[in-house]
């Protein structure tokens, strides 16, 4: 249901509409000097969905959650937890930001009683010709080549491989703007982690190790769902088919502004038999439907079966996911684990060949050159090594040249020559169109150091 943004002054409302792009699902209305608001406030006991702040008792005109300079203090929720309020045009920008991904309950007012606004049907026929003529740009992906905005990603692996540690790492890499294993992260993404296995003390220790060794990942765009007023209680209990649990997660997504939601692991939140295709698909579809209005992207971790290494449970789990990665432990050496990553499914991207990452002592997961990726020309191996160490992505030919020159102990001109040779023989890919005509270098999608 759409949200109504209400102005007292018709002139201000029209000026605001002319100067700002109003998000889809938000409409504007003007009450002028309508006395209906006063009547509703005077008979508030008849309208349990409305909450008034104390200013009205003092004769203040700011009867709906505050106005003018007070509006933030009085801004509140209705009985169902939906945001409603009356604001002046100078505050409307902030309210629209709050409504970025919110389908909130809204009201217009008859002469004496409030009524719910007309609700559009859930579905409607779309003409294909109209769809083809749609001029809206596709939303930027969360991870270009791996995870689209609003899609789902299933990460499966055996017990003990470090899936929960990987969730922490992914959340912080996405929040810092990447890159991730050679994949481009178009812009920083706010992450919300919902997990059931690790308490706040252990999470503090894990994150301390991760961010001490990788200080560039430290930021305030990662959140964990937990108990109110107790940071130590960040283990969550809930069921993916429970509307009350849905509401808690949706509220947390809106509060944090999360772009990505991590569910870790699936088994802790799944209320049905994971081997039943019908039940699993119903639960997962219902969960995604409950989150649909938020526009959030969902990442779920799950276990693989012993022996086969395939995603455990019903095939519907993998079918539900838009994208899927499978993790296989290659070997453990000196406390570090080398992991083979299989790009098992990609609904809207090209699948990459398997590649390798290493879980380091600092709990990061870094792109690793596998011995099979050694190139025959030792001159070009230096180029591959530098790009691998940089996480599979380097912006700018000059920057890349300086790094190769330092690594190989050669002149920058010779280093750039090796970069171009590596490009020409397909070891790396050169992407044009960066800022001020700069070039970006990545590994080919069909290689990724595999």
- Give pLDDT, residue 445: 60
Q: Which two tokens stand for residue 288?
A: 């995604």
CA trace torsion 27, 6, 3, 59 (10° rounding)? -170
Sign of CA dihedral 220, 226, 227, 233: negative
d(CA 424, CA 427): 8
Taking the chain (450 residues) in consecutive chunks of 10 residues, what is each chunk's mean pLDDT?
Answer: 52 72 63 49 49 31 32 33 37 46 32 32 74 82 93 94 96 92 90 93 93 91 84 86 91 91 96 94 93 93 84 92 93 89 91 89 84 58 87 88 89 88 83 77 61
What domains can you pick out in the chain, each with its CATH number?
A: 3-116 (no CATH), 152-359 (3.40.50.300), 373-442 (1.10.10.2220)
For residue 162, how many C-alpha atoms fall within 13 Å in the half-sphere facing its CB? 25
Q: Which two tokens stand for residue 215?
A: 């200080």
d(CA 249, CA 270): 15
∠ CA 448-298-276 to the nearest 5 degrees?
Answer: 100
How many CB atoms are closer than 10 A to CB 366? Answer: 18
- Give pLDDT, residue 369: 62
d(CA 115, CA 442): 56
d(CA 165, CA 178): 17
Helices 412-424, 397-408: axis angle to 10 degrees equals: 110
């Amino acid at each position: 249901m759409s949200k109504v943004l209400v102005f007292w002054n018709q002139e201000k409302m029209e000026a605001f509409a002319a100067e700002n792009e109003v998000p889809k699902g938000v409409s504007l209305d003007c009450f002028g000097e309508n006395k209906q608001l006063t009547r509703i406030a005077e008979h508030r006991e008849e309208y349990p969905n409305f909450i008034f702040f104390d200013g009205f008792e003092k004769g203040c005109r700011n009867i709906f959650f505050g106005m003018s300079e007070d509006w933030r203090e009085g801004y509140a929720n209705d009985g169902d937890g939906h945001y409603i309020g009356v604001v002046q045009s100078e505050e409307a920008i902030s309210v629209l930001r709050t409504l970025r991904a919110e389908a909130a309950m809204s009201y217009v007012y008859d002469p004496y009683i409030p009524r719910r606004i007309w609700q559009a049907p859930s579905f409607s026929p779309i003409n294909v010709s109209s769809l083809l003529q749609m001029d809206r740009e596709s939303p930027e992906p969360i991870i270009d080549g791996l995870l689209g905005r609003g899609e789902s990603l299933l990460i499966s692996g055996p017990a003990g491989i470090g899936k929960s540690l990987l969730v922490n790492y992914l959340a912080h890499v996405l929040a810092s703007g990447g890159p991730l294993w050679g994949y481009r992260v178009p812009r920083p993404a706010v992450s919300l982690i919902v997990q059931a296995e690790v308490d706040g003390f252990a999470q503090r220790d894990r994150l301390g190790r991760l961010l001490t060794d990788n200080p560039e990942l430290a930021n305030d765009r990662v959140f964990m769902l937990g108990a109110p007023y107790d940071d130590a209680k960040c283990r969550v209990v809930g069921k993916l088919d429970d509307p009350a649990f849905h509401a808690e997660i949706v509220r947390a997504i809106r509060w944090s502004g999360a772009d990505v939601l991590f569910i870790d692991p699936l088994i802790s939140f799944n209320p049905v038999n994971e081997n039943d295709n019908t039940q699993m698909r119903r639960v997962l579809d219902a969960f995604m439907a409950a989150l649909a209005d938020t526009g959030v992207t969902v990442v779920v971790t799950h276990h693989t079966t012993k022996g086969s290494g395939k995603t455990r449970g019903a095939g519907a789990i993998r079918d539900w996911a838009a994208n899927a990665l499978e993790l296989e432990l290659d070997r453990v050496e000196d406390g570090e684990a080398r992991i083979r990553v299989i790009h098992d499914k990609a609904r809207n991207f090209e699948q990459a060949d398997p590649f390798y990452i290493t879980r380091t002592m600092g709990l990061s997961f870094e792109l690793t050159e596998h011995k099979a990726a050694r190139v025959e020309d030792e001159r070009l191996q230096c180029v591959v090594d530098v790009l691998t160490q940089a996480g599979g992505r380097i912006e700018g030919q000059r920057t890349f040249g300086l790094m190769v020159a330092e690594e190989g102990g050669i002149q920058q001109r010779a280093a750039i020559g090796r970069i171009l040779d590596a490009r020409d023989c397909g070891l790396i890919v050169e992407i044009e169109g960066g800022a001020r005509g700069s070039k970006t270098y990545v590994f080919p999608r069909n290689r990724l150091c595999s």
